[in-house]
Amino acid sequence: MIYSRIAGTGSYLPEKVLTNSDLEKMVDTTDEWIRERTGIERRHIAAEGETTVDLAERAVRAALDAAGCKPEDVDFIAFGTTTPDLWFPNCGVLLQARLGCRGVPAFSVETACSGFMYALAMADKFVRAGEARRALAIGAETLSRITDWTDRSTAVLFADGAGAVLLEPSTEPGILSTHLHADGTYKDMLYSGGGTDARKTRRAITMTGNEVFKVAVSTLSKSIDEALAANHLERSALDWLVPHQANLRIIQATARKLDLPMERVITTVQDHGNTSAASVPLALDYGVRSGKIQRGQLMLLEAFGGGFTWGSALIRY
Ligand code: COA
């Protein structure tokens, strides 16, 4: 029986930091409101000309270093993003050209904030099936490019960054299970237009925040229960929750439903903001590099986003 395990993690944040007090000068908001309602204190914003693939490449090279692998070892690339460099070729292909692993499958997954969860699930399946040996799952975003910087309800939330995980085959599980879902009937609650649909030309992120909030909290706790039940595990078995970093209140509500103390939850939202598909791999890499998440520990990753789409993964690190 072949499983996949995490061989290495990596992440990258652009240099420029935008604080809440910077935002006070841009829109009608306050540091206090942003902290209280979202938990966000600062976020990183890509430099002019810096693209999603630029950020991803840095994260991927860090993950490869951590795993002791070379770019040419990679044989599968699944790239979650909502903010691709081009309509096509996709970001996976653009990254592949930079890494030099010509010929291996490379594609992007556009499932908004759960893009990394979808990428991870696919990478896991290919490794388990014996069709890939070194599979990259990536989440990278330059959401600042699709943020309306005059709209206070969204400008304070979204940010840029990238995270990556390299999977390799293992005789012991690693990734115990992944669970993916979508419900397209919520398509109008959170979206970015500017595609080929002439009825939705507004490119900036459009969201009914409080409605999204309610569905996110109830969906995420169900998603966590689903992953634990599939593995016949109790909530107490979890060492770490590595949640999507959209809003500290959503994370706290999820942890409460799980009876999990906040000390066992990786939170980076205060420093990263909501980086959509990049959020979970960024938090995971922070958890690993800070020494919190240790080899052998059990962690649950989850994300929820536009669509709606959502997913979870139960992983023995
Ligand atoms: N600064 C100050 N006031 C603001 C503001 C800002 N940046 N943004 C909105 N407000 C105001 C609103 O205009 C509203 O004012 P009103 O009562 O006079 O109409 C008030 O704050 C409350 O707005 P509401 O949207 O109900 O606030 P909220 O407590 O739901 O918090 C979010 C807003 C967006 C932070 C919150 O709903 C959220 O995080 N939602 C989920 C977002 C999410 O997870 N999205 C991505 C999923 S991946």
Q: Ligand 1 center to residue 211 CA distance, Å?
A: 10
Q: Is 90 exceeded by the pLDDT of residue 252?
A: yes
Residue 305: per-residue pLDDT: 96
CA angle 11, 13, 14 (to 5 degrees): 145
pLDDT (average), residues 139-159: 97
Residue nearest to atom 30 of ligand 1 (CA): 210
Q: Is 90 exceeded by the pLDDT of residue 167?
A: yes
So which residues are the catalytic ones?
Answer: 113, 244, 274
Residue 215: per-residue pLDDT: 94
Q: Which of 29, 32, 213, 302 for mutating ligand 1's site (highest number of atoms within 8 Å of CB)?
A: 213
Q: Which of 37, 118, 152, 219 for mutating ligand 1's site (highest number of atoms within 8 Å of CB)?
A: 37
Mean model confidence pLDDT for the chain: 97
- Looking up tokens 């520990």 gives 297
pLDDT (average), residues 280-289: 98
DSSP letters for the chain: --EEEEEEEEEE--SEEEEHHHHHTTSS--HHHHHHHH---EEEEPPTT--HHHHHHHHHHHHHHHHT--GGG--EEEEE-SS-SSSSS-HHHHHHHHHT-TTS-EEEE--GGGHHHHHHHHHHHHHHTTS-SSEEEEEEEEGGGG--TT-HHHHTTB-EEEEEEEEEEESS-SEEEEEEEE-GGGTTTEE---SS-TT----S-EE-HHHHHHHHHHHHHHHHHHHHHHTT--GGG-SEEEE--S-HHHHHHHHHHHT--GGGB---HHHH-B-GGGHHHHHHHHHHHTT-S-TT-EEEEEEEETTTEEEEEEEE-
Residue 258 binned pLDDT confidence (cut-offs 50, 70, 90): confident
Ligand 1 neighbours, Cβ below 6 Å, are: 29, 33, 37-38, 113, 152-153, 156, 207, 209-210, 212-213, 216, 246-247, 250, 274, 304-305
Residue 1: per-residue pLDDT: 87
Could you report the per-residue pLDDT of 44-103, keeping only the tens digit for each? 999 999 999 999 999 999 999 999 999 999 999 999 999 999 999 999 999 999 999 999
Residue nearest to atom 48 of ligand 1 (CA): 305
Residue 148 binned pLDDT confidence (cut-offs 50, 70, 90): very high
Residue 171: per-residue pLDDT: 96
Residue nearest to atom 12 of ligand 1 (CA): 153
> Which residue, among 116, 117, 119, has the nearest Cα to 106 in the 3D structure?
119
Q: Is 90 exceeded by the pLDDT of residue 221?
A: no
Q: Ligand 1 center to residue 287 CA distance, Å?
A: 28
Residue 264: per-residue pLDDT: 96
Q: Ligand 1 center to residue 1 CA distance, Å?
A: 48
Could you report the per-residue pLDDT of 115-132, keeping only the tens digit for each? 999 999 999 999 999 999
Q: Ligand 1 center to residue 72 CA distance, Å?
A: 45
Could you report the per-residue pLDDT of 90-110, keeping only the tens digit for each? 999 999 999 999 999 999 999
pTM summary value: 0.97
Residue 257 binned pLDDT confidence (cut-offs 50, 70, 90): confident
Whole-angstrom CA distances from 180 to 116, 156, 199, 212, 232 are: 11, 28, 29, 18, 18
Q: Is 90 exceeded by the pLDDT of residue 293?
A: yes
Q: Ligand 1 center to residue 156 CA distance, Å?
A: 10
Residue nearest to atom 9 of ligand 1 (CA): 153
CB-facing half-sphere around the CA of 7: CA atoms within 13 A? 27
Residue 140 binned pLDDT confidence (cut-offs 50, 70, 90): very high
Could you report the per-residue pLDDT of 175-217, keeping only the tens digit for each? 999 999 999 999 999 999 999 999 999 999 999 989 999 999 9
Please state, for a pLDDT cut of 90, what percent of the chain lies above it: 98
Residue nearest to atom 2 of ligand 1 (CA): 29
Please state, for a pLDDT cut of 70, what percent of the chain lies above it: 100
pLDDT (average), residues 229-245: 96
